[in-house]
Amino acid sequence: MAIESTLVLCKPDAVSRGLVGEIVARIERRGYVITAMRMLQLDGDRARKHYGEHEGKPFFNDLVNFITSGPLVALAVEGDGAVEACRQMIGATNPLQAAPGSVRADLAQSIGRNLVHASDSNESARRELPIFFTDADYMSRRHDLERWIKG
């Protein structure tokens, strides 16, 4: 696989329930590197941009309202096959259908309060990361990643 960067969001329910550390720990224990992290309150314009592919769908406004309802923590995650691995770690959107051991299966309460978002493709990651981070936000941890790849 190739080294990839992806976006993971710890949504407002993860922040309010004190689960950000658990989510970050799972990502790091799997060997992925967090190259940027920010806690922020998302505004409506940025939320609509983030969820742009869902505009016009019946649940679009609910997505925007929820993601702007409280602070969230945005993570830029890097590593070998990071996009698919992060999707696997967080589990299916519906916690009742998520694989055992995934964040959503273990911790989420409902489809609407499912704790996390992760980019679903490299294209999505390239579109989503700049919504939350500028170049100045990234810290180089390439040496950590290279050490991990070599084993």
Q: Rounded to whole angstroms, how far apart are CA atoms 133 and 125?
A: 12
As a whole number of angstroms, the distance between CA 141 and CA 144 comes to 5
**Angle of helix 82-90 versus helix 20-29 axis, rounded to 10:** 130
Q: Please tell me the distance from the alpha carbon of residue 151 to that of residue 140, in angstroms, as a whole number.
A: 19
Residue 51: both structure tokens together: 């969820």
Given 50, 54, 117, 143, the catalytic residue: 117
- Smallest CA-to-CA distance from 36 within 145, 129, 149, 143 is with 129
For 8, other C-beta atoms within 10 Å of its C-beta total 27
Mark whether 50 is an active-site residue.
no
Give the active site residues. 117
